[in-house]
A and B are shown apart, each in its own frame.
Chain A
Amino acid sequence: MKYIDEFRDGELAKNLAASIRAEVAPGRSYSFMEFCGGHTHAISRYGLTDLLPPAVHMVHGPGCPVCVLPIGRVDMAIDLALNHGVILCTYGDTLRIPASDGLSLMKAKARGGDVRMVYSTIDALQIARDNPEREVVFFAIGFETTTPPTAVAIQQAGAEGLRNFSVLCCHVLTPSAISNILESPEVRQWGTVPLDGFIGPAHVSTVIGSRPYEFFAEEYRKPVVIAGFEPLDVMQAILMLVRQVNEGRAEVENEFSRAVSREGNLKAQDRVAEVFELRREFEWRGLSVVPYSALKIRQEYAAFDAEWRFKLDYRSVPDHKACDCGAILRGVKKPQDCKLFGTVCTPENPIGSCMVSSEGACAAHYSYGRYKDMH
């Protein structure tokens, strides 16, 4: 496949692995966090850690949209489907997230809720057009990658006068999550999570550009290399990070220059700014309440805001007591450290959200990497 196979070439990978081995300083260890679930998935699926020298450690970050969605938000979506009689449109990955009372959107569907999987907001708009007598709600989740399409859908619905369409907005922001991790006591004071640098998001950065990361590089002295989601991208980024650490640099470098510019996609940013504003605070799974870390729909578009329209209240729900998703999302623990991992909590019966999405650290390790725990 053109433009894809080039970035999965095993021979090039061997060369890059050799370069990383040559670059790694003897006696030093390197810990890099890949922020994005997309990178976590690529690392596991291609068995990338097998190619890295033992001194390089990858720490999985919180950048999995499904994983950071708190139970209370999924409860709101289920409430809409079961008690408000709406057609709830959602991206496929959210269907299996465990929520309160042993429910998930999938189970709500089995109980008669009209829950429909869509590939894009365009599908959700079409469902609203086709069912003028029904209320149609789009469950909008994700980082900056999925935010512009939601903004466009709301504006489109406004332009068409689609009065039966609204959005349950749960969009979150990448830079706030990175700050939260860098400010956490594990990283700042106790040093229990050694972090020598970040692999910056691929798709998110095509929208927001590389500029927002400059603050982290400067303020916290942590190198950031923005990388694509293909395995060679990740290898190249690791090499660039090792070099920065060795040379004592802390800069933002862009490995994904084929898609990411410093300024990002200005048109998309404008659309987002027109429709959304900052939420004062938003609860993240794992990071708890993070100020100014999410978006809500502006007053002008309140008619399309499902929270306003259906008078929904957010109720915070604690995670399962023994579930370590929170610590895993902050890089404090590894999936194997959790008591539930692989026993009670499996992809068939996920207890925590990290086991749900294939981007989640637990699901990725369970599905792809378990052979490593054999001995």
Chain B
Amino acid sequence: MVKRGYVRPLDLKQGRVDLTHGSGGRAMVQLIAELFAKHLGNEYLGQGNDGAVMPAPTVDGRGGRIVMSTDCHVVSPLFFPGGDIGCLSVHGTINDVAVMGATPLYLAAGFVLEEGFPLADLARIVESMAQAAHEAGVPVVTGDTKVVERGKGDGVFITTTGVGVLRDGVELGGNRVRPGDAVIVSGSMGDHGVAIMSKRENLSFDAPIESDTAALHGMIADMLATGADLRCLRDPTRGGLAATLNEIAGQSGVGMMLHEKAIPVKQVVAAACEFLGLDPLYVANEGKLIAICAAADTERVLAAMRAHPLGREAAQIGEAIADDHHFIQLTTSFGGRRVVDWLAGDQLPRIC
């Protein structure tokens, strides 16, 4: 006897993504229901329409401004020590909204899946996203799935879009830095990029290097609550500390003087960089914050950061200076001085 309306459940152990999962038919509906909605489901996603309807955002009972940001995630390998593309795609976009000083409210997620991708891996990724979104208190309210032919994708690409609300009076931006301002980082530089690279190059180190992927909005809220004069917040992802500071310096029309000794870099990360011929200042982070504030408020900001688990190692690493060339300079722990320039393309290992 055939059960009425019986549909064989998705084979999450052995199954693979095939083109029907992207064709708009039953298979797609099933994938959404049994995987995406199951893990990411909430009252907004459950509405099941083309868009989610949400209440207009308010802060302290009053209307605020909307902040929106989007980020495509194409990381390889998909699973790495300390995280995976799932939690990364949640943290990354939450952070992009949060560094504007906004409270992140909702996420949208777009998946590009490659034909043949194991459903078990996809399930791990979606579960990890769900957990990250739950921990951050920012639900995924709408999404989309497409399947591309084998060889036309790299397993999974995820695009996430975040919406947040910004209280009146909070004004953060890359163009607000003035000479004399303090440059602060929330912790050690380069963990994420080195974790990825050591996995990619199949290198293992005695002490495992884990990605620092994390959502920063909690710590940022604590910092804003101090009332300190924060000028600019950024998360130094691709291109690392160096690229982010060069960008800010250009936008604000200032230079910066950093002090190598003050920049936190984990021993094991420094060693791996030494081995791979990389400079940790150019290596990506996914759970670190750069904060630039008025010099007088440095201690207040540092105290708020250090009181939060993600900012325990927060440190002032330098200050903004007047410089028409907008150079980021560094006093080396050796006693000399050099420029910390933009990077041309990827960092490539030297030969000698």
**Residues of A bordering B, CB below 8 Å:** 1, 4, 8-10, 13-14, 17, 36-38, 41, 44-51, 63-66, 91-96, 106, 117, 119, 141-143, 145-146, 203-204, 229, 231, 346-348, 350, 357-359, 366-371, 374
Contact = CB atoms under 8 A, between A and B. Distances in A.
13 contacts: A37-B350, A38-B350, A45-B332, A45-B338, A46-B332, A47-B331, A47-B332, A47-B338, A50-B337, A66-B351, A92-B348, A145-B352, A371-B339
B329, B341, B342, B352 — most chain A CB neighbours (10 Å) = B352
Contacts of A106: 345
A14 B267 contact: no
Given A46-B332, A48-B336, A370-B341, 4 more contacts: A51-B335, A91-B351, A142-B351, A348-B345
Nearest to A355: B344
B274 A4 contact: yes
Nearest to A41: B350
A335 B352 CA distance: 21
A106 B333 CA distance: 35
B336, B342, B350 — most chain A CB neighbours (10 Å) = B336
Contacts of A370: 325, 327, 339, 341
Contacts of A44: 338
Given A47-B337, A47-B338, A359 B352 contact: yes
Interface string B252-271: 00000000010000010011
B274 A1 contact: yes
Interchain residue pairs A-B with the least CB separation, the first 6: A47-B336, A347-B344, A92-B348, A368-B338, A50-B336, A46-B334
A66 B352 CA distance: 10
Contacts, number: 115
Nearest to B341: A367
Contacts of B351: 65-66, 91, 93-94, 141-142, 145-146, 357, 359
Contact of B348 (A49, A65, A95): A95
B200 to A, nearest CB: 11
A357 B271 CA distance: 22
B352 to A, nearest CB: 4
Contacts of B329: 371
A107 to B, nearest CB: 12
A359 B350 contact: yes
Given A92-B349, A93-B350, A357-B350, A367 B339 contact: yes
A96 B351 CA distance: 13
Q: Is the interface of B mostly helix, strand, loop or mixed?
A: loop
B201 interface: yes
Contacts of B333: 8, 10
A146 B351 CA distance: 8
B334 A93 contact: no
Contact of A1 (B271, B327, B331, B344): B271
Contact of B336 (A41, A46, A203, A204): A46
A95 B352 CA distance: 15
B338 A46 contact: yes
Nearest to A117: B348
B322 to A, nearest CB: 12
Contacts of B267: 1
A141 B351 CA distance: 9
B334 A48 contact: yes
A67 to B, nearest CB: 11
Nearest to B333: A10
B271, B341, B343 — most chain A CB neighbours (10 Å) = B341
Contacts of B270: 1
B334 A231 contact: yes
Given A1-B271, A10-B334, A93 B348 contact: yes
Nearest to B270: A1
A256 to B, nearest CB: 14
A187 to B, nearest CB: 24
B267, B331, B337 — most chain A CB neighbours (10 Å) = B337
Interface in B267-298: 267, 270-271, 274, 276
Contacts of A10: 261, 332-335
A281 B349 CA distance: 29
Nearest to A45: B338
A91 B345 CA distance: 16
Interface string B304-328: 0000000000000000000001010
Contacts of B350: 37-38, 41, 93, 357-359
